[in-house]
Amino acid sequence: MGESDTHKVDSSVAYIAEERDAGVPLTIRQTTLWGDVVRRFVRNRAAMLGLSVLVLMVLYSTIGPWIRPYGFADQDFSIAHQLPNAQHWFGTDMFGRDLFVRTAMGGRVSLLVAFAATAVVLVVGVLYGSISGFVGGKVDDMMMRFVDVLYGMPYLPFAIILLVILGSGVVPMLLALAIVSWLTPSRLVRGQILTLKQNEYIEAARALGASRARVVWRHLLPNTLGIIVVAMFLEVPAMILGEAVLSFLGLGISAPNASWGTLAEEGWKALRSYPWLIILPGLFISITVLAFNFVGDGFRDAIDPRTKESKV
Amino acid sequence: MDTVVATQPGSSADASGTSVSPLLVVRNLVKRFPIMSGVIFQRIVGHVHAVEDVSFEVGEGETLGLVGESGCGKTTTGRCILQLHRPTSGSIVFMGQELTQLKGQGLQDLRRNMQIVFQDPYASLNPRMTVGTIVGEPLAIHRMGTRSQRRERVRELLHVVGLNPQFTNRYPHEFSGGQRQRIGLARALALNPKLIICDEPVSALDVSIQAQMLNLLESLQKELNLTYLFIAHDLSVVKHVSDRVAVMYLGKVVEIAPSNELYRNPRHPYTFGLLAAIPIPDPKVERRRTHKMLEGDVPSPTNPPSGCVFHPRCFRAQEICSQQVPPMENSGNGHSTACFFPLEPGEN
Three-state secondary structure readout of chain B: CCCCCCCCCCCCCCCCCCCCCCCEEEEEEEEEEEEEECCCCCEEEEEEEEEEEEEEEECCCCEEEEECCCCCCHHHHHHHHCCCCCCCEEEEEECCEECCCCCHHHHHHHHCCEEEECCCCCCCCCCCCCHHHHHHHHHHHCCCCCHHHHHHHHHHHHHHCCCCHHHHHCCHHHCCHHHHHHHHHHHHHCCCCCEEEEECCCCCCCHHHHHHHHHHHHHHHHHHCCEEEEEECCHHHHHHHCCEEEEEECCEEEEEEEHHHHHHCCCCHHHHHHHHCCCCCCHHHHHHCCCCCCCCCCCCCCCCCCCCCCHHHCCCCCHHHHCCCCCCEECCCCCEECCCCCCCCCCC
pLDDT at A311 over 50: no
pLDDT at B62 over 80: yes
What's the confidence (pLDDT) of residue A18?
Answer: 47
Residue in A closest to B208 by C-alpha: A5
Give the model's confidence band at A289: pLDDT under 50 very low, under 70 low, under 90 confident, else very high.
confident
Q: B254 with B247: CB under 8 angstroms?
A: yes
Give the model's confidence band at A245: pLDDT under 50 very low, under 70 low, under 90 confident, else very high.
confident
Residue in A closest to B192 by C-alpha: A208
pLDDT at B7 over 50: no
What's the confidence (pLDDT) of residue A276?
Answer: 86
What's the confidence (pLDDT) of residue B67?
Answer: 92
Please choose, from the candidates A300, A312, A304, A305, the residue with its C-alpha nearest in 3D space to the C-alpha of residue A47.
Answer: A300
The contacts of residue B319 (CB under 8 Å, 6+ apart) are: none
What's the confidence (pLDDT) of residue A70?
Answer: 81
Parse chain A into domains and list their residue ranges: 32-311
> What's the gap between Cα B234 and its chain centre?
12
The contacts of residue A112 (CB under 8 Å, 6+ apart) are: A170, A174
Question: How far B231 CA lies from chain A's nearest CA (Å)?
Answer: 16
pLDDT one-digit tens code per residue, A90-144: 888 888 888 888 899 988 988 888 889 889 998 999 899 989 998 888 889 899 9
Please choose, from the candidates B142, B187, B65, B212, the residue with its C-alpha nearest in 3D space to the C-alpha of residue A209.
Answer: B142
pLDDT at A48 over 90: yes
Mean pLDDT of B117-127: 89
pLDDT one-digit tens code per residue, B143-167: 888 888 999 999 999 999 999 998 8
Q: Which among B42, B123, B142 has the least Cβ separation from residue A199?
A: B123
Note whether B164 contacts A: Cβ–Cβ < 8 A: yes
pLDDT one-digit tens code per residue, B164-195: 998 888 889 889 989 999 999 999 999 999 99
pLDDT at A249 over 90: no
A200 vs B contacts (CB less than 8 Å): 118-120, 123-124
Residue in B closest to A16 by C-alpha: B164
Q: In this predicted model, which residue has the larger pLDDT, A232 or A52?
A: A52
Mean pLDDT of B124-147: 90
What's the confidence (pLDDT) of residue A16?
Answer: 43
| Amino acid (one-letter) located at B52 | E
Q: Which among B42, B111, B168 has the least Cβ separation from residue A209?
A: B111
CA–CA dist B341, B82 (Å, integer): 35
CA–CA dist A25, A31 (Å, integer): 15
B127 vs A contacts (CB less than 8 Å): 223, 305-306
What's the confidence (pLDDT) of residue A169?
Answer: 78
**Cross-sheet strand order for the sheet of B43-58:** B43-58, B24-37, B89-94, B97-98
Q: Mean of the per-residue pLDDT values for chain A?
A: 80
Most confident region among A222-226, B26-30, B278-282 by mean pLDDT? B26-30
H/E segment holding residue A179: helix A170-181
pLDDT one-digit tens code per residue, B185-244: 999 999 999 999 999 998 888 888 898 899 999 999 999 999 999 999 888 889 889 999
Which pTM was predicted?
Answer: 0.74
Dihedral (CA of A190, A192, A194, A196) sign:
negative
Q: A172 with A120: CB under 8 angstroms?
A: no
What's the confidence (pLDDT) of residue B138?
Answer: 92
CA–CA dist B196, B199 (Å, integer): 9
What's the confidence (pLDDT) of residue B40?
Answer: 65
Helix axis angle, A221-248 to A170-181, nearest 10°: 130
Question: How far B63 CA lies from chain A's nearest CA (Å)?
Answer: 20
Question: How far B193 CA lies from chain A's nearest CA (Å)?
Answer: 11
Q: In this predicted model, which residue has the larger pLDDT, B93 or A80?
A: B93
Please choose, from the candidates B70, B65, B106, B103, the residue with its C-alpha nearest in 3D space to the C-alpha of residue B245.
Answer: B65
| Least confident residue range of A120-124, A302-306, B51-55, B82-86 | A302-306
Q: Backbone phi, then psi, for B23, in 5-degree steps?
A: -70, -40
Question: How far A11 CA lies from chain B's nearest CA (Å)?
Answer: 8
Best interface-test mutation with A: which of B82, B126, B224 has the largest number of A CBs within 10 A?
B126
What's the confidence (pLDDT) of residue B134?
Answer: 93
B187 vs A contacts (CB less than 8 Å): 204, 208
B182 vs A contacts (CB less than 8 Å): 5
B219 vs A contacts (CB less than 8 Å): 7-9
Note whether A5 contacts B212, CB cutoff 8 Å.
yes
Mean pLDDT of B114-129: 90
Note whether B38 contacts A: Cβ–Cβ < 8 A: no
pLDDT one-digit tens code per residue, A51-66: 999 999 999 998 888 8
Q: B113 with B106: CB under 8 angstroms?
A: no
What's the confidence (pLDDT) of residue A305?
Answer: 67
Helix axis angle, A137-152 to A183-197, nearest 10°: 150
CA–CA dist A100, A102 (Å, integer): 6
The contacts of residue A224 (CB under 8 Å, 6+ apart) are: A126, A130, A189, A192, A193, A196
CA–CA dist B315, B295 (Å, integer): 9
What's the confidence (pLDDT) of residue B217?
Answer: 93
CATH fold label, A32-311? MetI-like fold (1.10.3720)
Note whether A200 contacts B115, CB cutoff 8 Å.
no
pLDDT at A10 over 60: no
pLDDT at A9 over 80: no
